[in-house]
Amino acid sequence: MTKPRVVVIGSGLAGMSAAMKLAELECDVAVMSLLPLRRAHSCCAQGGINSVNDLTRQLGDDTWKHFEDTVYGGDFLQHQPPVREMAEWAPRIIDLMDRLGVTFNRTPEGFRDYRRFGGTLYRRTAFAGATTGQQLLYALDEQVRRWQVAGRVTAFENWDFLGPILDLEGRCRGCAAQNLLTMEIRALPADALILATGGCGLLFGRSTNSMACTGSAVSRAFTAGVRYGNGEFIQVHPTAIPGADKLRLISESARGEGGRIWAPRKPQDPRPPAEIPEKERFYFLEERYPTYGNLVPRDIATREIFRVCFQDGLSVQPDRMCVYLDVTNLPRELLDRKLGGVLKIYEKFQGVDPRTTPMKIFPAVHYSMGGLWCDYEVNASGGLNIGSPRNQQTNVPGIFAIGECDYQFHGANRLGANSLVACIFSGLTVAPGVVNYLENLPGGKAGEQSGSLFDRAAEQHRQRYQTMLVRPEGGLNPYRLHAELGQVMTKAATVIRHNGEIEAAYDKICEMQQQAPRCSLADTGNWANQNVVFARAVEDMFPLAKVVLKGALARDECRGAHYKPEFAMPEIHATDPAEARRQARQWCDRFQENNRKWLKSTIAAYAGDGDPELSYEEIDTSLIPPRPRLYGVTGGKWIEEAWKERGAMQNAK
Amino acid sequence: MQNNKCNTTNADCQPQIKTFEVRVLRQDGPGQCSYWQRHRVEHEPDMNCISVLQKIAEQATTADGQRVAPVAWECNCLEEVCGACTMLVNGRVRQACTALVDRLLAEKPDGIELRPMTKFPVLRDLVVDRSRIFAVLEKVRAWVPVDSYLDLGSGPRQSQETQQMAYQYSKCMCCGCCVEACPQYLKIELPCRPDDTPESYDARLREAHLRSYIGPYAISQIELFNSNPTGAMNAGERLDALTGEGGIQVCGNAQNCVRVCPQEIPLTTAIGRGGRDATWHMLRKWFDQ
């Protein structure tokens, strides 16, 4: 009973790698998941996992450049030591996954094959067909199963995390959870709690996320006192296909293998795409971003598609916004071998073969760069002190956050194929820190705590549950409330943001949150009641939705995925070099001024009145000094020149 | 997209479809009687069976106007990679997420029929208990037994051909389609004894699972891990499971499995190889005696 025990919430890549590593370190672990293991959202990751490799090294690549690409792509909004450490570990992580049996694609000589992904010029992305996330997840699931047989890991499958249990000193001593079949609510003592609960796409109604990605677990941790960082940074993926139930992603790997994005130059050209001649096609990413072409970072590609559709009026269809993603130029054999799974999704859901007809795509909410605030400890060389309990630990002692639900690695924008590496990295490295935390646990183990602590917590959650079951009929419909929340959030807080709209959305959300407890349930039974579980998740989405909106409202600048046109930096159109240089210097002044104000993490804390309180945290940029992010900015060369001059002058001082 | 779909199905070209009927075989809990229930759902573009079930949950009212609890079902990814939403759609086992409404209505205009899988105990409505699938993965030791998770360099080099074959097998989502279609795979449903505790019941159930037929997916997993260079070092353990009680000898070669697999895994190829491996394994053991 008094054995140190860790509860991991979530069975995706992060949670499973943490459980596996903890088991190896002889720690007893419970994995709790809404679904049976092996069904987590990680399986949706298609494209691949990034690391420096033997091939890229010979072209001049190194782990520092992977680190630098990640930080530059993320617009310098992440603390640099954890990112640096992640880039160091990435090659080892891929080696490990290879040893665990992941069926990475191979070159003719039998080495792992790599493809190019967005935001880099190197082929760093290892992949297993077009279902890399699924393959990585299965390898971890298999290892965890091995530890289940060995008795080290216990699975709580089909359980809903209801909240952490904190002692009087505010230290985490376990969690409350509900069995989704028997509806039993139980308090589980635990000496450490690792949250690996993924993203919150369902805040936006339909997204590329799976149905389990409600964000409710994170929201419950937030309202219990865990701080939330950079909530306003939501990645909208450029290429998805619409559906009545979700928006399905078409992986960046389609472009990584040579797929091209275009729209007909003639608005709503009625000809089939194959009949539109090359010169009448607008390859807008290639034209505007000659260096990165179709592989510009996601936030940029997304905004360009918006611009082409809304401002230029060049959407392929008049009634539904979309542009072409075209892989018809690529050899069929390559498509089948490297993109089979991606193209099959389009074929299955649209009934059209993308090998012969260009796909019609439009951006969709995809990933949350923000997440639970967590700490790290730096070592002498500017990386992480592995084994420090501070790594990935939140402000609540004993609660750790890893994977998409932490805010640590991606800054203002995540690069493609970096999420898988961040999930596994944070999972593997949190484990030794947790073990050290357990060794020096103040105040005794969870099993030695007073039983009333747990009884009280369980009772509180039981009361909430019972109250929900006996609500009067004829109130709001939780499914409609969720759809409405999604509409409000999508309109105000995705690709292009305006303060007026965000403010109106915030008021609307507050109003909806007050109405939420009036939702009635169509199912008031006590067995496998999905109705009550969904309604509770929807209610718990509101605190997180407010964090996203309030952060977005406050941040009057453009950074990565957060874009407010009123605060956009100007471009330099002057052709006279002297004038262009003058403007560039002004530009740099404004850039520095803006960074002084906004190169900070937004930190939201739950205040008693239900509104998030914002504060700002300085960012550790000790390794790479921030510089303008200039992918394809008009006049970028003048800015770059002025910026270098400024740097040289500072160095001279 | 509408104009595209008209090329592939007829349903879109029939603008008269405003609503359609969905018949669901419901069951309130384990061991209870099942019953059919009719729902009427409004037609929208790009619908699949998941969005139909979402509509039914939202309406919570039958076609006759009776208030009912929403139908319970399992799903997650909605892209046919997680394996959660397996059910019988118009009598055919498949993932509900890729069952597109317009195509189903084109094939069968009088409505859509949803039933739970028949080879697993129903927990509620369309939710069944598939823990047996995972218990069998333990039995066949479906993992690569590495020394540790420390950095020991990369895995062994592999030919493209080996990788392609392994990838086919490793796409298995454990969704249960193959075993649902398999005539040799029989449902296990243990009644609760009066003296059962939850633990003792689980233990009895697990024992029953481990004695029963492992099923086509498990045979393909044995082939997957035995073809992995590290996994091959423990091939014997997996072949013991393959040739033991509930092993490959139960397969009746109906070949239904390969026809229903949503991932198009070459299950009959795996069974063929498994049979050959099993024979050699038995012979070797016999000579070793």
| Residue B5 Cα, gap to closest chain A Cα (Å) | 6
Would the CB atoms of B143 and A242 count as touching at under 8 Å?
A: no
What's the Cα-to-Cα distance from A61 to each of A22, A53, A117, A296, A298, rounded to whole Å?
A: 33, 8, 15, 19, 22
Chain A residues with CB-CB distance to B153 below 8 A: 95
Would the CB atoms of B4 and A350 count as touching at under 8 Å?
A: yes
Overall average pLDDT of the B2-28 stretch: 68
- What's the pLDDT band for A33 if we cut at 50, 70, 90? very high
Farthest CA pair distance, chain B? 73
Q: Does A131 touch chain B (CB under 8 A)?
A: yes
Q: What is the pLDDT of residues A194-251, one digit of tens each?
A: 999 999 999 999 999 999 999 999 999 999 999 999 999 999 999 999 888 999 999 9
| Residue B250 Cα, gap to closest chain A Cα (Å) | 25
**Are A189 and A174 in contact, with CB atoms under 8 Å apart?**
yes
Secondary structure (3-state) at A630? coil
Residue A400 has a pLDDT of 98
Q: Does A139 touch chain B (CB under 8 A)?
A: yes
* Closest B-chain CA to A357: B4
Instruction: Extract the tokens encoding A607.
Output: 């205040």
Task: Give residues with Cβ within 8 angstroms of A343, minimum separation 6.
Answer: A130, A254, A327, A335, A353, A354, A355
* Nearest CB partner across the interface for A98, out of B123, B155, B171: B155
* Closest A-chain CA to B159: A110
Sign of CA dihedral B78, B79, B81, B83: positive
Q: Where are the alpha helices (DSSP H) in A391-498?
A: 419-439, 451-469, 478-492
Would the CB atoms of A149 and B138 count as touching at under 8 Å?
A: yes
CB crowding A210-230: b at 16 or more within 10 Å, else e: bbbbbbbbbbbbbbbbbbbbb
Chain A residues with CB-CB distance to B7 below 8 A: 351-352
CB crowding A504-528: b at 16 or more within 10 Å, else e: ebbebbeebbeebeebbbbbeeebb
Residue B9, pLDDT > 80, answer no
Which helix (H) or strand (E) is A115 found in, with range? strand A114-115
- The DSSP symbol for A329 reads T
Residue A653 has a pLDDT of 72
Give the strand pairing for A114-115 and A125-126.
antiparallel
Chain A residues with CB-CB distance to B103 below 8 A: 351
Task: Give residues with Cβ within 8 angstroms of B198, minimum separation 6.
Answer: none
Q: Does A245 touch chain B (CB under 8 A)?
A: yes
| Residue B175 Cα, gap to closest chain A Cα (Å) | 10
Chain A residues with CB-CB distance to B46 below 8 A: 242-244, 349
Give the strand pairing for B92-95 and B112-115.
unpaired
CA-wise closest residue to A127 among A148, A143, A106, A109: A106
Query: How many whole angstroms separate alpha carbon A150 and alpha carbon A27?
Result: 12
Residue A338 has a pLDDT of 86
Residue A266 has a pLDDT of 96
Task: Give residues with Cβ within 8 angstroms of A133, minimum separation 6.
Answer: A13, A42, A43, A44, A45, A46, A420
Chain A residues with CB-CB distance to B154 below 8 A: 94-95, 98-99, 112
Residue A244 has a pLDDT of 85
Query: How many whole angstroms separate alpha carbon A457 and alpha carbon B169?
Result: 45
The CATH class that applies to domain A5-236+367-452 reads: alpha beta
CB pairs under 8 A between A and B: 217
Instruction: Extract the tokens encoding B5.
Output: 């779909």
Secondary structure (3-state) at B230? coil
Would the CB atoms of A181 and B158 count as touching at under 8 Å?
A: no
Chain B residues with CB-CB distance to A149 below 8 A: 138
Secondary structure (3-state) at A458? helix
Residue B15 has a pLDDT of 54
Query: Taking the C-alpha atoms of A397, A399, A403 and A404 in order, what is their torsion angle to the nearest 10 degrees?
Result: -100
Q: What is the pLDDT of residues A467-489, one digit of tens each?
A: 999 999 889 999 999 999 999 99
Domain ranges of chain A: 5-236+367-452, 238-363
Residue B3 has a pLDDT of 41
Instruction: Extract the tokens encoding A207.
Output: 């997204």
| Residue A129 Cα, gap to closest chain B Cα (Å) | 8
CA-wise closest residue to A162 among A605, A546, A464, A607: A464
* Nearest CB partner across the interface for A39, out of B7, B76, B127: B76
| Range 476-495 of A in CB contact (< 8 A) with B | 477, 479-480
In this predicted model, which residue has the larger pLDDT, A122 or B7? A122
Residue A270 has a pLDDT of 94
Active centre residues of A (catalytic) = 298
Residue A1, pLDDT > 50, answer no
Would the CB atoms of A37 and B1 count as touching at under 8 Å?
A: no
Give the strand pairing for A185-189 and B112-115.
unpaired
Q: Does A527 touch chain B (CB under 8 A)?
A: yes
Would the CB atoms of A351 and B158 count as touching at under 8 Å?
A: no
**Are A538 and A516 in contact, with CB atoms under 8 Å apart?**
yes
CA-wise closest residue to A15 among A175, A172, A143: A143
Query: How many whole angstroms separate alpha carbon A46 and alpha carbon A237?
Result: 13
Would the CB atoms of B155 and A212 count as touching at under 8 Å?
A: no
Query: How many whole angstroms separate alpha carbon B101 and alpha carbon B92?
Result: 14
Residue A6 has a pLDDT of 98
Residue B14, pLDDT > 70, answer no
Chain B residues with CB-CB distance to A346 below 8 A: none
Query: How many whole angstroms separate alpha carbon A426 and alpha carbon A15?
Result: 9
Residue B261, pLDDT > 70, answer yes
If one counts every other C-beta atom within 10 angstroms of the C-beta of residue B179, the result is 29
Question: Are A5-236+367-452 and A238-363 equal in CATH topology?
Answer: no
Chain B residues with CB-CB distance to A337 below 8 A: 164
Interface with A, mutate which of B59, B77, B105 (most A CBs under 10 A):
B77
| Range 28-57 of A in CB contact (< 8 A) with B | 35-41, 43-44
Q: Does A352 touch chain B (CB under 8 A)?
A: yes
Query: How many whole angstroms separate alpha carbon A580 and alpha carbon B67?
Result: 70
Would the CB atoms of A522 and B70 count as touching at under 8 Å?
A: yes
Q: Does A526 touch chain B (CB under 8 A)?
A: no
Q: State the number of CA atoms in the 13 A half-sphere of B72 facing the CB.
A: 23
Query: How many whole angstroms separate alpha carbon A422 and alpha carbon A557?
Result: 27
| Residue A103 Cα, gap to closest chain B Cα (Å) | 6
Instruction: Extract the tokens encoding A208.
Output: 């590329």
Indicate the burial class of B133 (C-beta count within 10 angstroms; 0-12, 13-18, 19 or more).
buried
Whether complex ipTM tops 0.85: yes
- What's the pLDDT band for A117 if we cut at 50, 70, 90? confident
Q: What is the pLDDT of residues B201-253, one digit of tens each?
A: 999 999 999 999 999 999 999 999 999 999 999 999 999 999 999 999 999 99
Interface with B, mutate which of A138, A148, A428 (most B CBs under 10 A):
A138
Q: What is the pLDDT of residues A533-544, one digit of tens each?
A: 999 999 999 999
Residue A445 has a pLDDT of 82
Number of residues that this document lists for chain B: 289
CA-wise closest residue to B260 among B195, B190, B181, B194: B181
CB crowding A533-557: b at 16 or more within 10 Å, else e: bbbbbbbbbbbbbbbbbbbbbebeb
Task: Give residues with Cβ within 8 angstroms of B44, minimum separation 6.
Answer: A244, B51
Residue B11, pLDDT > 60, answer no
Query: How many whole angstroms separate alpha carbon A143 and alpha carbon A426?
Result: 17
Task: Give residues with Cβ within 8 angstroms of A123, minimum separation 6.
Answer: A55, A56, A114, A115, A116
pLDDT above 90: percentage of residues in chain A: 89
Q: What is the pLDDT of residues A287-337, one digit of tens each?
A: 999 989 999 989 999 999 999 999 999 999 988 899 999 999 999 999 998
Instruction: Extract the tokens encoding A283.
Output: 């390859």
A246-255, A504-513, B14-23, B171-180: which has the minimum mean pLDDT?
B14-23
What is the separation of C-alpha A502 from the centre of its chain, rounded to a whole number of angstroms? 21
CA-wise closest residue to B55 among B4, B28, B19: B19
- What's the pLDDT band for A192 if we cut at 50, 70, 90? very high
Mean pLDDT of chain B: 93
Chain A residues with CB-CB distance to B83 below 8 A: 38-39
Would the CB atoms of B70 and A131 count as touching at under 8 Å?
A: no
Query: How many whole angstroms separate alpha carbon B144 and alpha carbon B133?
Result: 19
Indicate the burial class of B68 (C-beta count within 10 angstroms; 0-12, 13-18, 19 or more).
middle
CB crowding A562-592: b at 16 or more within 10 Å, else e: bbbeebebeebeeeeeeebbebbbebbeebe
Would the CB atoms of B76 and A360 count as touching at under 8 Å?
A: no
Which helix (H) or strand (E) is B4 found in, with range? helix B2-8
If one counts every other C-beta atom within 10 angstroms of the C-beta of residue A470, the result is 8
Give the strand pairing for A192-195 and A399-401.
parallel
| Residue A343 Cα, gap to closest chain B Cα (Å) | 12
Query: How many whole angstroms separate alpha carbon A357 and alpha carbon B38?
Result: 39
Q: What is the pLDDT of residues B39-69, one digit of tens each?
A: 999 999 889 999 999 999 999 999 999 999 9
In terms of CATH architecture, what is A238-363?
Answer: Alpha-Beta Complex (3.90)
Residue A404, pLDDT > 80, answer yes
Three-class secondary structure assignment of A256-267: HCCCEEEEECCC
Backbone angle region of A465, left / alpha / beta, with phi > 0 → left and psi within -120 to 50 → alpha: alpha
CA-wise closest residue to A212 among A404, A16, A35, A13: A35
Chain A residues with CB-CB distance to B134 below 8 A: 36-38, 145
Q: What domains are defined for chain B?
A: 2-124 (3.10.20.30), 130-288 (1.10.1060.10)
Indicate the burial class of B272 (C-beta count within 10 angstroms; 0-12, 13-18, 19 or more).
middle
Residue B13, pLDDT > 60, answer no
CA-wise closest residue to B260 among B193, B194, B154, B182: B182
Residue A242 has a pLDDT of 84
| Range 187-226 of A in CB contact (< 8 A) with B | 210-212
Would the CB atoms of A320 and B5 count as touching at under 8 Å?
A: no
- The DSSP symbol for B85 reads T
Q: What is the pLDDT of residues A634-643, one digit of tens each?
A: 899 999 999 9
Residue B12, pLDDT > 50, answer no
Residue B6, pLDDT > 50, answer no
Would the CB atoms of A134 and B81 count as touching at under 8 Å?
A: yes
In this predicted model, which residue has the larger pLDDT, A301 or A4? A301
Query: How many whole angstroms separate alpha carbon A72 and alpha carbon A568?
Result: 18
**Are A559 and A598 in contact, with CB atoms under 8 Å apart?**
yes
Residue B16, pLDDT > 70, answer no
**Are B1 and B93 in contact, with CB atoms under 8 Å apart?**
no
| Residue B287 Cα, gap to closest chain A Cα (Å) | 31
